[in-house]
Amino acid sequence: MKRVLVSDSMANEGIDIFRNTPGIEVDVITKHTPEELKELVSGYDGLVVRSSSKITKEIIESAEKLTVIGRAGAGVDNIDVPAASKKGIVVMNTPGGNTVTTGEHAIAMMLSLARKIPQATASMKAGKWEKSRFMGNEYCNKTLGIIGIGRIGTVVADRARGLKMNVLAYDPFISPEAAEKMGITLASLDEIYGSADFISVHTPKNKETTGMINAAAFAKMKKGVFIINCARGGIISEKDLYDALVSGKVAGAALDVFEEEPTKNLDLIALENVICTPHLGASTDEAQTTVAIAIAEQMVDYLLKGEIRYAVNFPSISADLMNAMAPYLALAEKLGKFHAQIISSGIEEVNIEYSGEILKFDVTPLTIALLKGLLTPILNENVNYINAPVIAQERGINVKESKSSAVGDYRSMITLTLKTAKAVTTTAGALFGLRAPRIVRINDFAVDVVPEGHLLMLYNHDKPGVIGNIGTVIGTANINIARMHWSRVQEKQKAMVVFSTDTPLDEEILKKMKETTNVISVHQLDM
Ligand SMILES: NC(=O)C1=CN([C@@H]2O[C@H](COP(=O)(O)OP(=O)(O)OC[C@H]3O[C@@H](n4cnc5c(N)ncnc54)[C@H](O)[C@@H]3O)[C@@H](O)[C@H]2O)C=CC1
Ligand SMILES: O=C(O)C(=O)COP(=O)(O)O
């Protein structure tokens, strides 16, 4: 039974999916202190959050069973994703589920801001009729600068064009060609600051964007600019925004998000030219139903079938793709696991070359699978698809991928070259038929090894009698040989034999084998 905790409010349609799925048990507990949440989480396999629960490193580190954190929404800045990745926990969100709703909120905020609708509403509710107090500004032919032209930014741009606004966008990760296809005019930040009448922010909150709109940025803006933030508090410095609003440089600000939530910055929101909502960007029935269903389905699929969709710390693999890639993932993992056991010092560099039909897939998950296989025999800690790249990086292992269109004897091949302080070694793997993994090369030796069970890899001088002598040592120990593959590069030089045995060999027998005439070295591998 997999247990899921929903720690922020979530639409019933999502909770029902958990409730109605055999094998899943769900609890909804939305009122908790951070300490209580830490205690609570430790008993669950899955955790669903929105923006209220802060999932810190401390919570993650103490969450013994947790394998997946689902964000019913877009931003994951309230989750310590690096800490989750290190612990092997998948973090997934529901991109797109609240895009239109949040874009509409930004437009609603912009429209309300320049026409002072919230202030006029409050005045009328207070029994007044202050027609001349609430003079506004028109949008038609004004310039809207959008910072971050992703999903939400694109919706805002589209709706703003309907209002006959000129739209400029800044996003360093969008190519001019992609922008042109979307009908977006890209501009530099300085161009936007210099020409925009309205500026709306739609980036994620991260190291680069935190505080990106600060006093220096306000100084470059047109006097009388309107600012809209429906992305994240802290992308705009609240202190610098306050000063710019008081000085009149900024004519008004519409804020849905705050540096701290619920905000304690009452001085800022008390300003006459600030309108605000309590993080309502995604709060529509439609968006909440969509994101709740999406995250529940994604988490059920992960918890029960291992299918990963929309993970922010792993490439997405649908069930169909997973099925198609499964033999290659198994091959990559086996190759890594095999190679890790034939080296004798720390890995400095991993070079992976993919060739043949395998190139029809995104090879990123294959590299992750290979790293998982490679690190598992070396480390005692649990290595999985999520933490393998993090562990490799932490250990200073340089991972390089390359692709080759050259197809040799195999339809697909993965060639792995490891550089250690002592040597550079190469192995290669291919599929036999459609599914069966094989090791097909060990350094200079062409082989055909089934990477399963207990293997013995032995180098010897290519002289008569070696096989007989080794067979006698293994047979005397009453150990059955299941398979055997012999290979040599050139007659009478070094040769190699790989045995597969039904049971592992103990140290004493291994020692006897190493002492056998003409044997150079013996490695036992556990696959
Ligand atoms: N107020 C609310 O309730 C909601 C807020 N959000 C916030 O909006 C953000 C954006 O959401 P989506 O559009 O769905 O994400 P998205 O990933 O589709 O778009 C983000 C865009 O920002 C761009 N970007 C990243 N760093 C940048 C930088 N330094 N300068 C300029 N552009 C940069 C990216 O290239 C991307 O195009 C989320 O991360 C979340 O924090 C999202 C949903 C609801
Ligand atoms: O999806 C997002 O990034 C949001 O900010 C929505 O936040 P919420 O789920 O309403 O707390």
Whether 83 and 163 map to the same domain: the answer is no
Structure tokens at 142: 């004004």
Rounded percentage of the chain residues whose pLDDT exceeds 90? 83
187 CA to centre of ligand 1 in angstroms:
17
Give the domain CATH number at 497.
3.30.70.260
Residue 408 CA, distance from chain mean position = 34
Task: Name the residue type at position 405.
Answer: S
466: confidence class by pLDDT, cuts 50, 70, 90: confident
3-class secondary-structure state, position 186: strand
pLDDT at res. 332: 97
Residue of 173, 190, 283, 295 to test ligand 1 pocket, by largest number of atoms within 8 Å of CB: 173
For residue 433, being part of any structural domain is answered with: no
Q: How far is CA 397 from the centre of its chain?
A: 19
Number of independent structural domains in the chain: 4
72/105 same-domain check: no
- Of 409, 372, 407, nearest to 392 by C-alpha is 372
174 falls within a domain: yes
Phi-psi domain of 336 (left: phi exceeds 0; alpha: psi -120 through 50; beta: other): alpha
- For tokens 């597969």, name the residue: 500
Pull the structure tokens for residue 274: 């600030």
Nearest atom, ligand 2, residue 75 CA: 3
CB 208 near ligand 1, within 6 Å:
yes
Q: What is the pLDDT of residues 40-67, one digit of tens each?
A: 999 999 999 999 999 999 999 999 999 9
Q: Do the domain assignments include residue 436?
A: no
- 107 domain-assigned: yes
- pLDDT of residue 322 exceeding 90, the answer is no
Cβ atoms of 237 and 227 within 8 Å: the answer is: no
Q: What percent of the chain has pLDDT over 70?
A: 99
Helix extents (H) in 55-201 = 57-62, 81-86, 99-114, 117-125, 151-162, 176-181, 189-195
Domain check: are 105 and 161 in the same one? yes
Ligand 2 center to residue 268 CA distance, Å?
Answer: 22
Does 319 score more than 80 pLDDT? no
Distance 204 CA to ligand 1 centre (A): 4
- State the ligand closest to the CA atom of 74: 2
Give yes or no for a contact between 438 and 429, defined as CB atoms under 8 angstroms apart: yes
Distance from residue 205's CA to the centre of ligand 1 (Å): 8
Average model confidence (pLDDT) across the chain: 94
Ligand nearest to the CA of 109: 1
Task: Name the residue of 10, 51, 78, 280 whose CB sits within 8 Å of the most ligand 2 atoms, as the mutation to test its pocket.
Answer: 51
**Residues 484 and 503 both lie in one domain:** yes
Whether residue 423 lies inside any domain: the answer is: no
In this structure, the residue with its CA closest to atom 36 of ligand 1 is 150
98 ligand 2 Cβ < 6 A:
yes
Write the single-letter amino acid at 101. Answer: T
Q: Is residue 429 part of a domain?
A: no
Residues 477 and 521 in one domain: yes
ipTM score above 0.90:
yes
Last residue of one domain, picked from the residues 276, 304, 339: 276
Residues 171-227: tens digit of each pLDDT: 998 888 888 888 889 999 999 999 999 999 999 999 999 999 999 999 999 999 999
Containing domain of residue 110, as a range?
99-276
* CB-CB contact of 388 with 372 (8 Å): yes
Confidence of residue 487 (pLDDT cuts 50, 70, 90): confident
Over residues 20-24, the mean pLDDT reads 98
CB of residue 234 inside a 6 A radius of ligand 1: no
Note whether 341 and 526 are within 8 A (CB): yes
Q: Which of 8, 48, 98, 151 to mutate to test the pocket of ligand 2 (most atoms within 8 A of CB)?
A: 98
Q: What is the pLDDT of residues 98-107, one digit of tens each?
A: 999 999 999 9
Q: Do the domain assignments include residue 33?
A: yes
* Residue 426 forms part of a structural domain: no
| Total-model pTM | 0.85
Q: Are residues 382 and 459 in the same domain?
A: no
Residues annotated as catalytic (active site), given as ranges: 232, 261, 279
Pocket lining: 257 vs ligand 1, CB cutoff 6 Å = yes
Does 380 score more than 70 pLDDT?
no
Distance in Å, CA 72 to ligand 2 centroid: 7
Q: Hey, which residues does 310 pair with through a beta bridge?
A: none
505-527 per-position pLDDT tens digit = 889 999 999 999 999 999 999 99
Average pLDDT over residues 393-405: 93
Residue that terminates a domain, selected from 226, 257, 276: 276
Q: Where are the alpha helices (DSSP H) in 341-486?
A: 364-375, 388-394, 466-476
Neighbours of 516 (CB within 10 A): 17
Give yes or no: residues 308 and 352 share one domain: no
Residues 116 and 265 in one domain: yes
Q: Are 104 and 90 part of one and the same domain?
A: no
Q: Does 486 share its domain with 404?
A: no
pLDDT tens per residue across span 249-269: 999 999 999 999 999 999 999
CATH of residue 348: 3.30.1330.90
Give the separation between CA 79 and CA 77, rounded to whole angstroms: 5
| 238 pLDDT tier (thresholds 50, 70, 90) | very high
Claim to verify: residue 119 and residue 267 sit in the same structural domain: yes
Find the ligand nearest to 231 CA. Answer: 1
Average pLDDT on 118-135 reads: 97
81 and 122 assigned to the same domain: no
Q: What is the CATH number of the domain that holds 41?
A: 3.40.50.720
145 alpha carbon – ligand 2 mean position (Å): 23
